[in-house]
Structure 1
Amino acid sequence: MTLIVVLLACLALAGIGVAAPTRPNIVFIMTDDQDRRLNSLAHMPFLQSELVAKGTEFTKHYTNQALCCPSRSTLLRGQTVHNTNLTNVSQPGGSYNKWVLSGQDKDYLPHWLNAAGYRTEYIGKIMNGYGLSNYNVKSKGWDWSDLLVEPYIDDYNLPVMSQNGQRPVFYDGFHQTDVIRIKALNRLNNLTSQATPFFLAIAPFTPHVGFQQDKPSHRPIPLQRHLEDFPNAKAPRTPNFNPPDKYQANAGGWVKDLLPMNNTAIDFADFVYRSRLQALAGVDEIVADVVALLEQKGVINNTYIIFTSDNGYHLGQHRMPAGKSLFYNEDTNLPFVVRGPGVPANVTSDIPSLHIDLAPTFLNIAGVPEADWPVFLDGRSVLPQWHDPKSSSAAGAAAGQGNSKESINIEYWGRAGIEAPSAGKLGSPFDSTTYKTIRLLGTQQSWVYTVWCSGEKELYNTAEDPYELVNLAQIANSTRLTSRLNALLMVTKSCEQNSCRDPWSLLKPDTGGPRLVSLTQAMDKAYDEFFANFVKVSFDTCLTIQSDTNETPYFPPLNELLGGGLGRAYRNATDVIKPAGGVRTLSTPNYYGTKAQRNASFKSLRAVSRPLTDAELAAQ
């Protein structure tokens, strides 16, 4: 018996209590529209030294939809977008009002963690559509929330936030990123002074496109102290940056019609890239200060710190000057770094995961038995992969060894736009944007297959063509492959629960062979007839909202699923959604976020704060 065991036994016999180890804390930092494929993480030195070097970076973490509100709903509910039905950032597809009307705000992550004994807090951007018109509809579940409100959310130098659903407060003379950092540190200081384990979400708006009165827009607005940073940075000239006609003409949807970017458009992409790096320098300060405070309070070794974004971003790839909303890697492959108990340091992992996996992972951290998790979860816990990130990879799945995350569903509804001054001249916003995508993440076999609402198809061998330039969909010898990918997409476009985690389980050829677990296995010629005759993914027309009748057929048929499928058994119908937001009455031409404000206190922030007046709130 070891000395420590003997000591503990003696203390117990003496009647002296021995405190059990505290369950881990969780600090979740999520940016808005941050790229992974364009090297933004490499320009964040504190992130590199404190999280990447002391934790694990997962290079194949994805979102189911490359747009803010849909992606955030999947994270908070652990469900894919077709099941939350929050399919866009504004009505009728999405928005905070739809989230509330659907009743999903009564049964999501903070409620579950509260029940597990965690204190839950949220600071920053919660969801599109939370604003002056509905701030008093408090975001349910959180023990403390301090949320950015529209229409000021994109005006970085006019920060307005609502604390716990109370009257919004204006923080005059401060930059929004500094406000979030100061508030987050204040709450973290409070949380680390209590014995209760906690979940703290810190969600800056950076590097989302912002607004600044009388200044160049269509870019994030950096803190004043970072306006001159990275003077020589340019958007990476990846092979798919402004590609020639031989590639572009074979794309699908609205992408194929984009003209080559001229020098003005290229210069704009470079300007936005520099602005994004400058803006992210403020987020890097959040990372530095959060880690320093956790170390100071002695809880760093019992705290998981997760860094990610809601979706990715492109700058010149496929001729798109700026934006998101597409299935390409730049838009859907996200920054994802984890540091915490049991997570090995300085490791890079290619194990695939999705935002829908985060809610079950957090429940796993909280010690909630899987039998007590919500039945409607589409994701899985990836905590074992965090602890052993080299144990398996997508390569195993491609080789037939089985891994449900070999297959990732990506989807989109609604209008899509180009975030650039010339957007209108390029045809933006675009209406015919709806598509269904299946992405396979094996290292031996790696594919992405998309069916647009127009009927156009795109197929890329991403193992050989990582920049997704050569569309193979029209090549004759791709038919056997696309028949398998079509069947997999038929399952994932309406999957629920286990069929999202393991879509191959629903594909059962009547050949008497073993259960299918991977694409490599499914490519056996014995299954040719089964897949050739499988129902095909299709749309009746191009709608901007999710409509089950427009997207028939389904596999399995929706009438065979609980509540008619598409998550409807676990949410309310949301046919009518009121517009949200408000009208700006505040303005400033100034840049804030000075060098002196880098160390500004919470007390100094409160000193310049004031509630919005009745007149400012009434201007709806």
Structure 2
Amino acid sequence: MRNSNVLLALLWLISSQSYATERPNIVFMLADDQGWNGLSVAMHPNVTGSKGDVFHTPNLERLAAQGMRFSAGYAPASVCSPTRISLMTGKSPAALHWTKAAPPETGHKLIEPRNVKSISANETTIAELLKQAGYATAHYGKWHIGGGGPEKHGFDESDGDTGNENAYQFKDPNPVDIFGMAERTEAFMERNSKAKKPFFIQLSWNALHAAENANKATLAKYEKALNGENSKRIATAAITEDLDTGVGRVLASIEKLGLSGNTFVIYMADNGANTGKKVLNGGKGGMWEGGIRVPFIVRGPGVKPNSWCHTRVVGYDLYPTFCEWAGIKAASLPKGLEGGSIAGLLANDGRGDVKRVREELIFHFPHYQGDAPHSAIMLGDLKLLHFYEDHHDELYDLAQDISERRDLAAQRPDDVKKLRDRLEKYLASVDAQLPTPNPDYDPNKEPSGKRGDKKPNPKKDKKKPK
């Protein structure tokens, strides 16, 4: 596998040397609930366990061999809908007032704030800007941010105003519509290639939701390989491989249509997950690294094969990146964008910085789910987590402690104050929603656990973001 990946990387380098003068195509793939080490692709060259030991994703291995891996790539949120609206608008979930996907939990010490729960018509999406610039635009798969669906927000073609219910209705031989999405993608690319029109396609894969709907043959493979493991872990490994097969079909279509030399392919996840291998702390619903650090791979013209970038990037950096690739001038971008283009990193072998409106990265989750309400701020290698129930802070040096095991708050009070001040200033500047005291709180009736996302009821949840 290693030798074949090296050969593929060399072939890719040859084809990408002819960096086309026309505007590039963009194919953006967003996986659902996939942890940083949820692939058979290492996401850090020096971190043992940065790839899964049970997953088999050969197509993503090839994509990584042909492109750049971002070892510190972050989703804007630790849950799905806030990430999705952030990607569409280039703004943080805190600024958008949409910071949770699941319903609020009650009975705790604090009351969770309300969420917007639908993308506003006043927001300028990345699809609208690209469409205005002459791109054909398509969105396939899970939308989950309301507002009338993708075609109300700049997409020429879509699967409609879908939510999690889309995952559960598709089974073998088309698990969670993976292969149907790949087919529609190929058809869209072919039509627009013939019309000589650049295209932007977002594939918001339903996987890893409804993992039990993986193809029967793939499930059987992992039932044998993981004999004795729980059924959820087996199903997750199976649907991960089915998703990788779908990714491979899209990549094969790009190659078949002769578009590889002028098409950027981006792969990331909407939030982290606890993969069972505790390299990172936490998981979905928390601002620990396990909840927000995700697989992040980019292949395209001018990107050095099998390269690495260790600069911190976040999902909403893609908005200005896509605009730069499309030739959209900075003066034409909407106000309030928080991301910075990563095009320079990709063109410079991963070296450099991302120029954003502020130096720090902030993640805001004033809710109960993976933990009590909290926010996080990163500046350089330092990361501060602030918890709202008792207002305590924790400080970690991610360069030395990626697993967030050694709290430095007591040893470095000046850094705690500096980061806490920046966090509070930012949250106030975007009028971020905060939890409030629960006047009816009874510690004797505190819920025993945090529910988080539940399996959706297709009839109840259809077309309603959660």
TM-score by length of 1: 0.58
Pairing partner for 1:492 from 402, 426, 443:
426
1:451 aligns with 2:464: no
Distance in 2 between residues matched to 1:284 and 1:186, nearest whole Å: 19
Q: Which residue of 2 aligns with 1:13?
A: none
Number of aligned positions between the proteins: 403
Which of 288, 307, 326 in structure 2 is aligned with 1:328? 288
Aligned partner letter, 1:450: L
User: SS of the counterpart of 2:417?
Assistant: helix
Where structure 1 has 5 or more consecutive residues not aligned to the other structure, the ranges are: 1-19, 160-171, 211-218, 235-263, 395-401, 418-429, 497-536, 544-579, 586-615
- The residue identity in structure 2 corresponding to 1:277 is A
335 and 147 in structure 1: CA distance in 2 versus 1, 3 angstrom threshold: farther
Question: Is contact 2:222-2:238 (8 Å) kept?
Answer: yes
| Native 8 Å contact 2:34 2:271 kept in 1 | yes
Cα distance, 1:60 vs structure 2: 0.9
Q: Paired residue for 2:412, among 478, 484, 502?
A: 478
Q: Determine the C-alpha separation between the residues in 2 that align with 1:77 and 1:452.
A: 27
1:78 to 50, 67, 90: 90
Query: Any idea what SS the aligned residue of 2:400 has?
Result: coil
AA of the residue aligned to 1:451: H
Per mean C-alpha deviation after superposition, the further-off stretch among 186-195 and 297-306 is 186-195
Structure 1 SS opposite 2:252:
helix
Whether the aligned pair in 2 keeps the contact of 1:222 and 1:275 (CA below 8 Å) is yes
Question: Which residue does 2:221 correspond to in 1?
Answer: 229
Q: CA deviation at 1:376?
A: 1.6
What residue is the counterpart of 1:115 in the other structure? Answer: 132
Which residue of structure 1 lines up, in the alignment, with residue 249 of structure 2? 289
- Taking a change above 3 Å as real, the CA distance of residues 581 and 376 of structure 1, as seen in their structure-2 partners, is farther
CA contact (8 A) 2:117 2:146 kept: no
Distance 1:114 1:138 in 2: 11
**What letter matches 1:89 in structure 2?**
A
1:521 paired residue number: none
Alignment-derived partner of residue 438 in structure 1: 377
Per-residue deviation, 1:384? 0.8
Residues 412 and 318 of structure 1: CA distance in aligned 2, closer, same or farther (over 3 Å): farther
- Distance in 2 between residues matched to 1:385 and 1:319, nearest whole Å: 26
Report how far residue 110 of structure 1 moved: 1.0
Q: Structure 2 CA distance, aligned partners of 1:451 and 1:542?
A: 19
C-alpha change, 1:55 and 1:494, in structure 2 (3 Å) is: farther
Contact conserved, 2:267 with 2:295, CA < 8 A, in 1? yes
Query: 1:541 maps to what in 2?
Result: 437
- Per the alignment, do residues 319 and 61 of structure 1 end up closer, same or farther by CA in structure 2, a change over 3 Å counting? closer
In structure 2, relative to structure 1, the CA distance for the partners of 1:107 and 1:220 (3 Å cut) is farther
For the residues of structure 2 that align with 1:61 and 1:414, how far apart are their CA atoms?
A: 23
**For the residues of structure 2 that align with 1:153 and 1:360, how far apart are their CA atoms?**
30
Deviation at 1:471, TM superposition (A): 2.6
Distance 1:282 1:194, change over 3 A: farther
1:326 positional shift: 0.7
1:373 and 1:404, CA in 2 relative to 1: closer, same or farther beyond 3 A?
Answer: closer
Instruction: Report the CA distance shift for 1:385/1:404 in structure 2 as closer, same or farther (over 3 A).
Output: farther
Distance 1:447 1:157 in 2: 43
Q: Distance in 2 between matches of 1:388 and 1:336?
A: 17
- Whichever residue aligns with residue 75 of structure 2, its letter is T
- The superposition leaves residues 95-128 of structure 1 with CA deviations (integer Å, 9 ceiling, x where unpaired) of 8x8324x334x52111111111111111001125
In 1, distance between residues paired with 2:373 and 2:208?
25
- 1:342 paired to 2:290: no
Aligned to 1:407: 360
- Consecutive unaligned residues of structure 2, counting only runs of 5 or more, are 1-19, 42-50, 105-112, 440-455
Partner of residue 300, structure 1: 260
* Alignment-mate amino acid for residue 194 of structure 2: S
CA RMSD of aligned residues (A): 3.6
Q: Rate the CA distance shift 1:360–1:494 in 2: closer, same or farther, 3 A.
A: farther
Q: What pairs up with 1:170-209 in 2 under 5 angstroms?
A: 175-208=176-209
Larger Rg: 1
- From the superposition, tell whether residues 373 and 40 of structure 1 become closer, same or farther in structure 2 (CA, over 3 Å): same
If the length of structure 2 is used for normalisation, what is the TM-score? 0.76
Q: Distance in 1 between matches of 2:118 and 2:435?
A: 26
Partner Cα distance (1:538, 1:312) in 2: 23
CA contact (8 A) 1:449 1:459 kept: yes
Contact 1:34 1:40 (C-alpha < 8 Å) held by counterparts: no
3-state DSSP of counterpart to 1:304: strand
* Closer, same or farther: CA 482–71 of 1 in aligned 2, 3 Å: same
* Higher RCO (C-alpha 8 Å, min separation 6): 2
In 1: Cα distance, 2:90 partner to 2:24 partner: 20
- CA drift of 1:351 comes to 1.5
Measured against aligned partners, the alpha-carbon deviations of 1:203-253 in whole angstroms (never above 9, x if no partner) come to: 111113x2xxxxxxxx5532223113345777xxxxxxxxxxxxxxxxxxx
1:583 pairs, out of 456, 459, 464, with: 459
Q: Distance in 2 between matches of 1:233 and 1:362?
A: 41
**Among residues 68, 72, 80, which one is paired with 1:60 in the alignment?**
72
Distance between the aligned counterparts of 1:276 and 1:464, measured in 2? 31
Matches within 5 A, 1:257-268: 268=230
Runs of 4+ in 1 over 4 A off after TM superposition: 90-95, 172-175, 230-234, 316-323, 402-406, 537-540
- Give the whole-Å Cα distance in 2 for the aligned partners of 1:232 and 1:581: 31
Following superposition, the deviation at residue 462 of structure 1 comes to 2.4
Distance 1:300 1:197 in 2: 13
Distance 1:581 1:193, change over 3 A: farther
Instruction: Please report how far the alpha carbon of residue 147 of structure 1 lies from its aligned counterpart in structure 2 after TM superposition.
Output: 3.7
- The 3-state SS of whatever aligns with 1:416 is coil
Of 146, 149, 158, the match for 2:159: 146
How far 1:39 moved relative to its partner? 4.4
**Is the 1:46–1:288 Cα contact (8 Å) retained in structure 2?**
yes
- 1:495/1:61 CA distance change after superposition, 3 Å: farther
Q: Distance in 2 between matches of 1:157 and 1:293?
A: 22
Distance of 1:23 and 1:448 partners within structure 2 = 38
Letter in 1 for 2:322: F
The amino acid across from 1:113 in the alignment is L
Which residue in the other structure is 2:330 paired with?
Answer: 370
- Write out aligned runs for 1:67-106 (5 A): 67-89=79-101, 98-100=117-119, 102-104=120-122
User: Residue type matched to 1:226 in 2?
Assistant: T
Q: How big is the shift at 1:486?
A: 1.2
**Would the alpha carbon gap of residues 335 and 321 (structure 1) be closer, same or farther in structure 2, given more than 3 Å must change?**
closer
In the alignment, the residues of structure 1 paired with residue 186 and residue 261 of structure 2 have an alpha-carbon distance, to the nearest angstrom, of: 18
Other structure's SS at 1:98 match: coil
Distance 1:129 1:91, change over 3 A: farther
Contact 2:367 2:435 in 1 (8 A): no
**One-letter code of the match for 2:350?**
K
